[in-house]
Chains A and B, each alone.
Chain A
Amino acid sequence: MKFLVCISNVPDTTTKITFTPDNKEFNKAGVQFVINPWDEYALTRAIELKEQQGSGTVTVLNVGEADTEPNIRKALAIGADDAIRVNAKPTDAYFVAQQIAAVAKEGGYEVILMGKESIDYNGFQVHGMVGELLGIPTVAPAMKLDMSGSTATLEREIEGGKEIVEVSAPFVASCQQPMCEPRIPNMRGIMTARTKPLKVVEPMGEGARTEVAEYALPPKKQGVKLIPAESAGDLIRLLRNEAKVI
């Protein structure tokens, strides 16, 4: 089976969020970037399924500029076989989805996996756009993925429960926990990753359909109001009379 795993390059979870002076872009200065945590589920599960099947390949795909390559190498160190970088700024979900669909089509990938969403843009859009562009089913968000031949059985989370869905490859799934325990690179992986192929291709298709006009930070919290533990019941009266939430 040919797996394609799409990864985003995102600021580390603990990053203090700031913006460029015109508030149009995230301020990357001094920020540590990581593989999007949701994408790690997709990557590890693809590697596990390839190992189970005893054949096949896992290709990692990122739409980004050259500064994303350290994290692409990290994905190779975790166990992907090769990588493709579409050399472009990921301007919006539709732009990115077109690049993924083009690569998937050209390479004849059968299982296209990605995380549920990126922790920076929180779009939760790319999975469905790719599925629609390719005319194949999407299962989102998937909590479990098993394969038998070219048939996949997935658990999809719905509000208040889950659905068991069966689809045949090719398909797209956006992954979340508890799908697997994401792997971390070992020394051997890091060594071999250096020589694994990383192909750079130029973007195609149409431009974005949305533009960020401005980023803003949420209003600051007023600060916590502490209630002594002995008179804990006062909290409930404050929640009713002051905060008016009960």
Chain B
Amino acid sequence: MINDEYFLAALRLAAGSDPIPGHVSAAARDAFGLRVSQAVTAPPADCAAPRGVRGGDGPGMIRFVAAGLTFDLEVTVGDGLIDVAGQVFPHPGEGSHVDVRTPHLTLTRRLARSGQFAVTGLPPGWLSVVCHRPGFAPVQTRWVRIRP
């Protein structure tokens, strides 16, 4: 029963018996470095392909839309690491690039003419993609949690 659980959690908190681990606090503080000034945040949107993330039986698609841009991300988890094959459309223009970010690692990719990009070997956990385009505000996807 959730109410009892909250009571007990409050008691544990008051007793200091389950303190927040240091690495969780440190990760929260470091997260501040992930903010993107003036960015527009793209929420998830419906797409025809199945949602989600798959393991060995093929990728799952997640779509985000904002500021006239659509991000389609095919996310695959294999061997404990994440691969992302994505497309931004319509093409955001010459000189655009994407940052594929996790709290611990950011990989930058120029966009192909088709708007496609790919990264491999990201650590599992929280993931977001930011599209930087000359002359316009960057667009970032909402953070999504990717775990095997």
Bound together? no
| Residues of A participating in the B interface, judged by any CB pair closer than 8 Å | none
| Residues of B participating in the A interface, judged by any CB pair closer than 8 Å | none
